[in-house]
Structures are given as C-alpha cells and as structure tokens.
Amino acid sequence: MFGIFDIYLLEALVNGVLLGGVFALLALGLNLVFGVIDVVWICYAELIMLGMYGMYFLYTGYEVPYLLAALISIGGVAVLGVVLHIAVIQPLLGTPPINQLLATGGVLFFLQSAATVMFGIDFRNLGIRLPVLEVADMFISYARLLAFGAALVGMVALYLFLARSYTGAAIRAIAQDRQIMPLMGVDSRRIYIITSAIGGALAGLAACLLVLQYDVQPFVGLTFGPITFLICVLGGLGNMIGGFVAAFLFAEIISVSGLYLDLEWGYVFAFGFFVVLMFFRPQGLLARRS
C-alpha cells in the first residue's frame, strides 16, 4: 500500500521539494550575511515579518498592484537591512561575534513589539486565493509553486551577481579573508553595507512569497525563524550550497512525516534529525575543511 509509487507519497515528495525551495530562499540571505560579515541576524525572520506587513498594507490599503508592491517591499526590507547593519552591527564589529548575535536578539524583541504596538495582534492576509493545481491526480499549491520558482530565480540571480560582477568578486574575497582584503583596496565598510542590503532584499523576497501562504501577525517570525537557523547550521553556517541541501532535506522530512502523522510532528522529526546529525557532522553537512 505504501509502495514507492504511492500517489500520496509522491504528492508529499513534490510538495516537499516546493517547500524546500522556500526554505532555501529563507536560508540564503542569512547565509550570505553570515558568510561575509560573520554575523548572525537572529532577527532575520522579523525582517521578513515587516516585509509581509509592507505587502499587506500596500496591497490592501493602497491597492498597489502585487508586483509593484513586491518591488517596494523588497526595497524597503533592503533598507532595513542596511539600517540594522549601520545602527547595530557596525558599532559591535570589533567585539566577539556573540555580542552581535545578542544585539540582533534585542532587535528581534524590538521589531516584534513595535509591530504589536503599531499593527495590533490581528491576523491579516492579502485575500488572494490562488488556485490549487491538479497534476496527474496530485494536488499542488500554486502559491508554493510560485514561491519555489521565485526562490530559484532569486538564487540564480544571486549566484550570477556573486560570480560575475566586480562587486560580487569583492564580496567573495571579503568572505574568504576579512583581514587581508582591506589591504588590497577593498572598502570593507561598503561591502558590508551592500551585503546587508542584499540580505535584506532576500528577506523581502521571501516576505512577498510567504505572504501568499501565511497570515501576517507580529509573531509570524517565530513560525519560520527557528527552522531557518537550523537549516543554516545544518548546512554549515555561511555555506550556501550546504544550506540549499539542508533546506530540501528538512522540507522532505517535514512533508513526508506530515503525510503519515501531523505537520507539527514533521517539524519535531526534522529537529530530531538535526540533533542526531549534529553528533556526526557538528560543523554542518558540507563543512569547509581547514
């Protein structure tokens, strides 16, 4: 009955792949910021939350078309990323990295309660009902498919930027050696700000896609914040390909155990898998050997 070609299992696997695309996108911005600046933005999911609010107010309040609203939100969260870097991270660059992590933890509290104070704790959504596709007896959420596609486009764009552009080369160089590159004439402050902007923009992109699937509320960051950190750690912090692999592993575990049990148990299994794997590869799946 539970053969390999069982249609429900296949559906779960396909949905897992789609979910994996979203997870990979979530992990991408965090990994980029970590890899280049050596900082963990604990408040990353809260930036996404603000982006989702931006989408909500632009789309329902000012009736801006979806694509334009998405562009404005992405830009807005990118600016937030820069503000976060200049206001919080920059004064702490000389101190142990854990201080920067804790300071962004303070920002997490701040953003959550700022959203509570400003927007209240109501659940809001865009009111867009995307159809559910039926492909070969499988039901696939259109919103997830869209998110998967956009995530892939975002990742390819980031890859091309890092691999082909001059600034991208400088970012990769800084990530490899923070001490030497400033001596070679790279302005590390500028690179950090650009990286923070890209990290924020990726959070904004994730926000535009997640707002189609989740209701916005001030604590929505807690629903996908922890899993994003676990994906990054499992893949090896700062390792984008590792994060990619880990995102799909996690998504498949969640999706397939969600089929047989409950979606929440899917998360429990994914976390359990994480702990077990940490015993064997605590530096992450694709750790750089130094």
Partner 1 sequence: MNNWVPWIAAAAALIGLPSVYHDPYPLHILVLVLIWSSIYTSWSMMGRFGLVSLGHGGFMGIGAYVTALLWNYLHVSPWIGIPLAMLAAAVAAVLIGYPCFRFRITGHYFALLTLALSAIVLQVITATRDFTGGSLGYTPERYNGGSSIFAVQFIGKETWYLVALGIWGVVLLIRYRVERSMLRYALEAIAEDEDAAAATGVHVTVEKLKITVLSATMTAFAGALYCQYQMFISPDTVSGIGVSLQMVFAAVVGGLYVPLGPTVGAAITILLTETLRISFGTAAVGWDNLVYGTLLVLFIIFLPQGLLGSVLAGLARRPARARWPRGKSYTGKTGGPST
Q: How far apart are CA 180 and CA 193, in angstroms?
A: 18
Rule CB under 8 A: choose which of 44, 214, 250, 267 binds partner 1. Answer: 267
Grouping H, G, I as helix, E, B as strand and the rest as coil, residue 93 is coil
Judged by CB under 8 A, the chain residues 24 through 63 that form the site for partner 1 are 40, 42
Judged by CB under 8 A, the chain residues 86 through 125 that form the site for partner 1 are 88, 91-92, 95-103, 105-114, 116-117, 121
Q: Contact, 22 vs 144, CB < 8 A? A: yes
**CB < 8 Å & 24+ apart, contacts of 137-143:** 137/7, 138/7, 138/10, 138/11, 138/14, 139/11, 140/11, 140/14, 140/15, 140/18, 141/15, 141/18, 141/213, 143/209, 143/212, 143/213
Under the binding rule (CB under 8 A), the answer on residue 196 touching partner 1 is no
Under the binding rule (CB under 8 A), the answer on residue 260 touching partner 1 is no
Closest approach of partner 1 to the CB of residue 53, in Å? 14
Q: How far apart are CA 5 and CA 88, in angstroms?
A: 52
From 71-79, 132-140, 171-179, 220-228, give the range in contact with partner 1 by CB under 8 A: 220-228
Q: H-helix or E-strand containing 78? A: helix 66-84
Closest approach of partner 1 to the CB of residue 88, in Å? 6
- Closest to partner 1 by CB, 83 vs 157, is 83
Residue 75, amino acid:
G
Q: How far apart are CA 57 and CA 242, in angstroms?
A: 35
Under the binding rule (CB under 8 A), the answer on residue 12 touching partner 1 is no
Rule CB under 8 A: choose which of 191, 230, 240, 253 binds partner 1. Answer: 230
Residues that bind partner 1 (CB under 8 A): 40, 42, 88, 91-92, 95-103, 105-114, 116-117, 121, 218, 222, 225-227, 229-230, 232-233, 237, 262, 264-265, 267-268, 271-272, 274-275, 278-279, 282-283
